[in-house]
Each structure stands twice: as structure tokens, then as C-alpha cells.
Structure 1
Amino acid sequence: MQTKNFAVDHNLKELTKHRTVVLPIACYETMINENIHGYIPLHWHDEFQFVVIVKGKATFQINEEKVVIREGDGVFINSGCLHMAKDDNHSGCVYLCLNVSPHFVLSQELYTTYVYPYIQATNLPYLYLNANKKWGEKILDSIKTIHRLIEQKLPFYEIDITLQLTLIWQNLIISGFQLEYEQTEMLKSYRMKEMLNWIHQHFSEKIMLEEIASAGQLSRSECCRYFKRFLKKSPLNYVTEYRIQKSLVLLQQADSNVTEVAYQVGFNSTSYFIDKFRKSMNMTPLAYKKMKME
């Protein structure tokens, strides 16, 4: 299964149902460049995510950190962490993605001791899975095995998947990562999501910096520092980029036109929309529309 369009709610939480018919997991292959945006846009979900790079390499941003994952290696992304991915150097990156509910990784009797502390850790937004380390190699092999099991659906494959998940989690713990818990970091993550939430609810309206800052209970300068730290851009630049993302879907509707789309996503000038769209997508909105219609 190739996921080409990440549906998210106003809080950037991904709406895709991460499950097979009977299990609260999903495992699929993704080619980054085939996504509607040309990259995997910023989103988050409650499920843990495990990634294996099958071809090429990708730059992942997870919360405020960026990491390049190379072919053969992978990454664990913790529950609730904002993340996005871009193909690195036009490598034609393809990766396997395993999303799994934290409550399904281990039995409920073991959840409190061995899973919940990892969700709460403030120093674990992600963990690089290095194939040259034994524990990393075992996790990567188990992800590939789960993908194969879901595709083949041999008798009792669901039980085999649960065995592989146990091995994955055991090896994650074996990595020896020291967990830390800082209340201030949890508050920062909450405030960042609140500001993004507000933008995604009001992107089609006129937006002022003061309004974004107020949503996070921050001053204007502190709001800018948050966006610089987490997203490496200003709040208003993020608003512009988000509006352009929302315009991509609208432009693919047969009866839409560029001027209408510009105003629908919050631009008050068609020429300004065209200029920003061109800088972001390397083509005009009309050229993009024609390309998609063809």
C-alpha cells in the first residue's frame, strides 16, 4: 500500500487508520516523491512508527531535530511526535513504514513497566536504527518480516506478527537508551501543537502573529523562537506554506480556478499566491493544475 496523501485534522494529527483487518497496526511501502506534496508533510499520530529505508536516503524532521536516514538503516519515531520526511538529493527514496498502537506492542500486564515510560520520555522523540548494531539490525529485520507476513497472510500470520513486535520492543530496550522526563519539554510540545492547531483552524482567514502567540500563551518573540526551534521558520512563513499545501488538493478539482483557490486558502491577492506557489512548487498554480488534470 502506497500512502500518497496524508489526511490530517486541524491539529495535524494524521487521520489514516493504521490497522490491518484485525490488528491495530499498518505496514506499507512509501515512495516519498509520489506523495501529493512531493514530500511527507508535517503530522503526528498516537502510534509508534518504525521506518526502514529500502532505497536512497531521506531527511526526517522529528519535533525540532533533523536526521538523515540512509539506505539499509531506519528510525523509530515516538508516539505523539511531530514529523515529516523529504527525499534527500533526489535519491528516489523508498521506505517501509510500520505504525503500531503502543497498547499492542506488549501485553497489558507489561505495558506500564516497559512501554508507557518510553511514551512519556521527553528525550526520546526518535531513535536511529543502525543496521551495523546488533539490536538495530534485529529491529529492521523484524519490520521487514512483518511487512512480508501482512502481504502473504499465511495461516496464523497474526500470531507471528505479535512475536515480531515483541522482538522489536525487546531490542529497542536493549539499545540502552536512558530515559529522561522534563515537565518543561512536555509543556513546550503542548504549546507548539496548540499554535499549529490554531493555524490549521484559521488558515483561510487573515492571521496576525499576536493571534498565533496567544494560542500558545506566549509573547510574539517567544512564539517566533518556538517556530524557529521546531520548524526552522517563522510563524507567518509556516502559515504561507500551509496555505499552499491546502491549495494543492483544491487545484486538482476540475471546476476550480486559481483566483478562487487563492482566496479559499487565505491569500488576499492572486498575484501574491502565484508568486509564493511558484517559489514553493517550482511552477505556477495553473501549470500544476494542468499537470494534474493530464
Structure 2
Amino acid sequence: MQIKDFIIEQSLKELTEHRTMVLPIACYETMVNQNINGFIPLHWHDEIQFVRIVKGEAIFQVNEEKIAVGEGEGLFINSGCLHTAKDHKNSGCVYICLNVSPHFVLSQELYTTYVNPYIQATNLPYLHLDPKETWAQNILDAVVNINQLVQQKPSCYEIDITSQLTFLWKNLILNGFQLEYEEIEKLKSQRMKQMLNWIHTHYAEKILLDDIARAGQLSRSECCRYFKRILKKTPLNYVTDYRIQKSLMLLQQSESNVTDVAYQVGFNSTSYFIAQFRKSMNMTPLAYKKYKSS
């Protein structure tokens, strides 16, 4: 199953259903550049995520860090962490994506001791899974096994999946990662999500830097530092990029025209919209519209 369009609410929390069976998990292969945006847009979800690269290479960003993940390697992304992914050098990157509700990893009796401390740790946004490490290779193998079980659905496959998840999580714990808990880091994450949520609620309106900063209870300068550190761009540049993202679906509607779309997503000038769209997508909005309708 290829998910081409992530459903993301205004807070950037992904709403795409991570459930392909009676179990609270989803496992599927995805090609990065087949997404409607040409990349996996910034989002977060409550599920923990495991990725194994089947082909090519991807650049993931988890919170403020970028990680190159090549063929055969993988990534663990913790619950609630902002992340995005882009194909690296047009490699045609394909990866297996496994999303799991943290409460399903182990039984409720073991959750408090063996799962919750890892979910709550502020120094564990991700782990790079290098197959040279035995514990990491075991996790990567488990992801492949779960994907096969999901696709083939042999007898009692649900039980086999739970066994693989237990094995996977045990190996993550055996890695011996030292957990840390810092309230300031949790507060930073919360403020960033508040500012992004405000932008996604008001993107079609006039937006000022003061508005964004106020949403995060920050000064203008501190707001800019948050965006530069985490998203590597200014707050207003992020607003422009987000408006371009929102225009893609609108442009694919047969009755839409470029001027109407520009104003619907918050641009007050058609020419500026066209210039920014070309800068982002390497083609004009009209060319994009024709390309998608062909």
C-alpha cells in the first residue's frame, strides 16, 4: 500500500489511519517521491515508527536533526516527534514503514516499566538502525517479517506479529541507551507545535511574525530561533512553503484557476504566488495543473 497523501490536522498531527487490520499497527512500503508533495511533509503522530530502507537513500529530519539513511539501514522515530523525509539525489527511495501504538508493544503490565520510560525520554527522538549492530539488524529483520505477515496474513498471523514486536522492542532496550528527562525540552516541543498549529489554522489569512510568536508565548527573536533551529528556515518562509503545499490539491481540481488558488491559500498577489511556486516546485502553478491533469 502506497500512501501518497498524508492526512495531517492543523497541529501537524498525522490523521492517516495507522491501522490496516484488527491490530493497532500499520505496515506498508512507500516511495518517498510519490507523495503529492514530492516528499513526506512535516508531521507527528502518537505511534512509534520504524523504517527500513529497501531501495535508495532518504534524508530524514527528526525535530532539528537530519539523518541520512541508506539501503538496508533504518530508523526508529519516537512518539510525538516532528519528522519529515526526502529522497536523496533522486535515488527512487522506497522504505518499509511500521507504525505501532506504544500501548500495543508490550502487555499493559510491562508497559510502565519497559515502554513508557522510552516514550517519555527527551533525549530519544530517534535511533539510527545500523545493520552492523546486531541489535539494530534484529529490529530491521523484525520490520521485514511484520511487513510480510501483514501482506500474506497466514494463520494466526496476529500472534506472530505480537511476537515480532516483543522481539523488536527487547532489542531496542538491549541497545543500552541511557534515558534522560528534561522538562525544558518538552516545553520547547510543545511551543513549536503550538506555533505550527496556529499557522495551519490561519495560513489563508494575513500572518505577521508577532502572531506566530504570540502563539508560542515567545518573543519575536526567540520565535525565529525556534524555527531556524528546528526547521532551518524563518517563520514567514515556513508560512510560504506551507501555503504552496496547500495549493497542490486545489490546483488538481479541474474547475480551479491559479488566481483563485493563490488567494485561497493566503497569497495576496498572483504573481508572487507564481514566483514562489516556481521556486519551490521548479514549475509554474499552471504547468503543475496541466501536468497533473494529463
TM range (shorter): over 0.9
State the SS of the aligned residue for 1:12: coil
Question: How far, CA to CA, are the matches of 1:82 and 1:218 in structure 2?
Answer: 20
Distance 2:162 2:19 in 1: 13
User: How much identity, in percent, do the aligned residues show?
Assistant: 73
What is the deviation of 1:207?
Answer: 0.1
Cα separation, 2, equivalents of 1:225 and 1:207: 18
Partner of 1:287: 287
Q: Which runs of structure 2 are paired with 1:182-193 in the superposition (5 Å)?
A: 182-193=182-193
Structure 2 unaligned regions, length at least 5: none
The runs of at least 4 aligned residues of structure 1 exceeding 2 Å deviation read none
Give the deviation of 1:21 after TM superposition. 2.1
Counterpart CA distance in 2 for 1:87 and 1:33 is: 6
Does structure 1 residue 121 correspond to structure 2 residue 131? Answer: no
Q: Deviations over 1:52-75 (max 9, x none)?
A: 000000000000110000100000
Equivalence for 1:112: 112
The CA RMSD measured in Å over matched residues stands at 0.4
How far apart are 1:50 and its partner, in Å? 0.1
- Specify the code of the residue in structure 2 equivalent to 1:282: N
How many Å separate the matches in 2 of 1:30 and 1:79?
A: 20
Number of residue pairs aligned between Structure 1 and Structure 2:
294
Quote the offset at 1:141 in angstroms.
0.2
Secondary structure at the residue paired with 1:204? coil
Alpha-carbon distance in 1 for matches of 2:116, 2:21: 25
Q: 1:132 maps to which residue?
A: 132
Q: Any idea what SS the aligned residue of 1:97 has?
A: strand
Whole-Å Cα distance in 1 between the matches of residues 274 and 116 of structure 2? 47
Give the partner amino acid of 2:41.
P
Question: Partner residue of 2:7?
Answer: 7
Matched, 1:20 2:20: yes
Show the counterpart of 1:273.
273
Q: Distance in 2 between the 1:174 and 1:269 partners?
A: 56
Write the letter of the residue equivalent to 1:76.
Answer: F
Query: Could you report, residue by residue, the CA deviation over 1:108-152 in whole angstroms, capped at 9, with x for unpaired residues?
Result: 000000100111100000000111100000000000000000111
Secondary structure of residue in 2 paired with 1:192: helix
Q: How far apart in 2 are the matches of 1:258 and 1:58?
A: 32
2:60 matched residue in structure 1: 60
Q: Could you give the per-residue CA deviations for residues 136-182 of structure 1, whole angstroms, max 9, x where no partner exists?
A: 00000000000000111010000000000000100000111100000
Unaligned runs of 5+ in 1: none
Q: Which amino acid aligns with 2:156?
A: F
Deviation, structure 1 residue 20 = 2.2
For 1:292, the aligned partner's letter is: K
SS of equivalent to 1:223: helix
Q: C-alpha separation between the residues in 2 aligned to 1:21 and 1:105? A: 16
| TM score, norm. by length of structure 2 | 1.00
Which amino acid in 2 is paired with 1:165? L
Residues 228-270 of structure 1, C-alpha deviations (whole Å, 9 max, x = no match) = 0110000000000000000000000000000000000000000
Q: Which residue is 1:157 aligned to? A: 157
Helix, strand or coil for the counterpart of 2:22? coil
Q: Which structure 2 residues correspond to residues 191-270 of structure 1 after superposition, within 5 A?
A: 191-270=191-270
Distance 1:16 1:87 in 2: 21
Matched with 1:41 is 41
How far did residue 35 of structure 1 move? Answer: 0.5
Partner residue of 2:85? 85
Give the secondary structure class of the aligned counterpart of 1:52.
strand
Q: Residue 58 of structure 1 aligns to which amino acid in structure 2? A: A
TM-score by length of 1: 1.00
Q: Secondary structure at the match of 1:191?
A: helix
Alignment of 1:76 with 2:76, yes or no, is yes
Question: CA separation in 1, counterparts of 2:228 and 2:219?
Answer: 14
Displacement of 1:45 = 0.4
Question: d(CA) in 2 for partners of 1:20 and 1:288?
Answer: 32
Distance in 2 of aligned mates of 1:119 and 1:227 = 24
Counterpart residue type for residue 144 of structure 2 = K
Report the Cα distance in structure 2 between the residues aligned to 1:271 and 1:17, rounded to whole angstroms.
37
The one-character-per-residue Cα deviations of 1:6-57 (angstroms, maximum 9, x if unpaired) are 1100000111110122000000000001110000000000000000000000
